[in-house]
Amino acid sequence: MAWNYILLLFITFSLSSCHVIAENVLRTKVVILGAGMTGITAAKTLHEEGVHDFVVVEARSELGELSSFAVPSQFALYQLLFCSSSGGRMQTFTLENGINVELGPNWIHGLGRLPSELNPIYSLAIKYNLTTVSSNAEDLETFDSSGKINMNKDLEEVSSAWERYLALAGHRLDNEKADLTARAGFSLSAFKPRNHLQEAAEYFLFDFTFGQPPEVTSFIGAANNNNYTRGYGFLVQQEAKEFLNASDSRLALNHVVTSITYSTEGVQIQTDKHLTIEADHAICTFSLGVLQNDDVKFYPPLPPWKQEAIYGTNMATYTKIFLRFNQSFWAESEFWLYADPKRRGYYPIWQPLDLPGFLPGSNTLLVTVTDTEARRIAKQSTEETRAEIMAVLRSMYGKDIPDPQEIVYKNWHSDPLFRGSYSNWGASYPFDVFRTLREPLYNRLWFAGEGTSTAFFGFLHACLKLPLSLKSTDGAYLEGQKAAKAVIETLQDHTTGEEYHHHYKEYSKNQDFNGFSELRSDSLNELRQLIRAGDKLVTNAKAAVN
């Protein structure tokens, strides 16, 4: 059985101090649940700080294909101002022509400032010599069901409305007014889509970034690139290789976590392979989509304040569909925007991948869908999706174009290991409550990931180096670091993890759950600083481009 093999690895390779205390039972100081960027970063931080007694549990057979340290995907996107949130689900797929594509995140959001304040993910891209291509969102062809059209006025109108939107959001934040939906923000900015062309233009600017429409996205939260040709999974692989090998005893691959039991004494993990892991601490890096479903049972149930934070956050779905043809027949513009006359967001964003610097000769197209359309596609067959896509493509390029030889995409929404692509700040979701996503339970069960980052929820990284007061609000990469350091501090009895969880309140042993933290009143001040820092970065980027 599979678990016998896993246990054999733990017995044979004694590189760490975790050990078997009974049949199918492991004992370790720290168990890390999930081997994405957050989990691997947490494990690496523990390793570098001298804590080697840990176990990483991963449901798949790979850590971004760590098991074989495979060839990385050969496509990823970088965009300076128009960008799609990546969030952290990394899976590489090899097309029949040998081209590797990343089904998950490709985008690096914000490079930071040279030389000392680089985005940590961009630093990794440099470290591992990833080829990057500067993307131009203005290199755009526009279409509707009648073929190629001119949408310049519609795009300009939406862009102007977005600038007004950002100004209003900043004013609203400075005056501590209640949050609204992003749709309300657009309306207050004197913009309401009048036709399918403006709906498509709005989608390109908004949905393509946030993965959800303005109706369900925060007005204030929405107010906040380098294109490399190998996916984020490669970065995870290379980081893991620095301290792990494919047969490391600290890896429990092919194990799906089924339950988590936590108390003041520690944490116990059960997997579908009947493996029990007992640990002093657990770092849970599951996506919010997984936490929002019943795939993993918590004993005792998560306290109401934690459930409120989890269920109050949206989980966006962002689906990338790759189409490989025997020959190319399309325009060489970097982006195409399709405005369907009846349905908003119906196969709207297209990108040819055979352009110079990307995948020349690949004869491959990428079309992106989000939110309701992504969830709809997840429920239908690949053949149905192929037929819909080709109907759109033939309206753009004529009826004589060939069918694709291959179609590949990942149904993130229906996959029980992900339940979506990345988190999105919902409309009117209180900033203070958002921060409780990070709160530990009994200082034993810790939560980390892109969804727990108040500054960069939905992102793999922190976009720029922030002031000291904001350093607790980095993205998934730094969330993994900080969770691990908080655990280390607790293990050493130097602190109770206060540096990571500034607002953690010591629980009473008479309580059923860790007490709900009193959050500091300067949350809005932190968000103001964040938006101002982001505005400055965008201004500097525009100046550099000009």
Torsion over CA: 299, 305, 306, 309 (sign): positive
Number of residues that this document lists for the chain? 546
Count of CB atoms within 10 A of residue 211's CB? 27
Going from the C-alpha of 368 to that of each of 12, 84, 374, the distances in angstroms are 45, 10, 9
Q: Do the annotations mark residue 163 as ligand-binding?
A: no
β-pairing verdict for 25-33 and 276-284: parallel
Rounded-to-integer distance, Cα 165 and Cα 185, Å: 6
Spatial CB neighbours of 546, under 8 Å, sequence gap ≥ 6: none
Q: Do the annotations mark residue 382 as ligand-binding?
A: no
Residue 171 C-alpha from the chain's centroid: 29
Q: Are 180 and 219 in contact (CB under 8 A)?
A: yes
* DSSP for 12-67, written as a single string: H--SSS-EEEETTEEEEEEEEE--SHHHHHHHHHHHHTT---EEEE-SSS-SSSTT
User: Quick check: helix, strand or coil at residue 389?
Assistant: helix
Q: Are 149 and 202 in contact (CB under 8 A)?
A: no
Encoded tokens for 123: 């630093």
Q: Do the annotations mark residue 257 as ligand-binding?
A: yes
Encoded tokens for 524: 């809005």
Query: Which residue bears the tokens 């309140």?
Result: 505
β-pairing verdict for 406-408 and 318-324: antiparallel
User: Quick check: helix, strand or coil at residue 480?
Assistant: helix
Q: Are 424 and 316 in contact (CB under 8 A)?
A: yes
Q: Do the annotations mark residue 38 as ligand-binding?
A: yes
Encoded tokens for 175: 């005056």
User: Quick check: helix, strand or coil at residue 302?
Assistant: coil
Using only C-alpha atoms, what is the Rg of the chain? 23
Helices (H), 263-346: 288-291, 304-311
Q: Considering only CA atoms, which of 286, 291, 299 is closest in space to residue 259?
A: 299
Rounded-to-integer distance, Cα 439 and Cα 457, Å: 15
Going from the C-alpha of 262 to that of each of 283, 302, 316, 493, the distances in angstroms are 12, 10, 29, 19
**b vs e for 39-73, b when ≥16 Cβ sit within 10 Å of the residue's Cβ?**
bbbbbbbbbeeebbbbbbbbbbebbbbbbebbebb
Spatial CB neighbours of 89, under 8 Å, sequence gap ≥ 6: 36, 104, 105, 287, 410, 412, 418, 421, 422
Encoded tokens for 71: 């060839």
User: Which residue numbers belong to the known binding site for FAD?
Assistant: 38, 58-59, 257
- Bind-site residues: 38, 58-59, 257
